Structure 1
């Protein structure tokens, strides 16, 4: 069971890195339209779109990726605590 938990935590960290890379790609012109950007978009955007309902601060700063990463971390942490509680 702990091996499975280890894999879930590792995958969540990789997904977090994918979110950060995709967001950083938005700063570079045309980077999200590249092959890597499109591939990351297919992986990351369905999850990020869940948090796009949060309006940007001041009309410019989108904090939804930060909230998405925090939610992912809370979910993984909660799952880890539940698993460790029953093991």
Structure 2
């Protein structure tokens, strides 16, 4: 049971890192540090976005519209971390 929880925690941490990379690339595009004509970063960004959209869309439907700022990745990261804590406490109890 502990090994399963550790594997799930590792996968959740990998997902968290993917969310952070996606967010940073989006900031680079938003502040024109990197142009959207950079095909490599654009491919990475759209690939990660297609992976994350099934997780982020339900959160976006529930949350109120805040304009240009999207808080759904932060809510997803908090949810992932909460899930890791709950699973670890259940496994070690």
Q: TM-score, normalised by structure 1?
A: 0.78
Equivalent residues of 1:56, 1:63 under 8 A apart: no
Aligned to 1:68: 76
Alpha-carbon distance in 2 for matches of 1:37, 1:62? 16
| Structure holding more helix per residue | 2
Gap regions ≥5 residues in structure 2: 30-34
Mean alpha-carbon deviation: is it higher for 34-43 or for 17-26?
34-43
Paired positions, count:
84
CA RMSD in angstroms, aligned pairs only: 2.1
The structure whose RCO (Cα within 8 Å, separation 6+) is larger is 2
> Secondary structure at the residue paired with 2:64?
coil
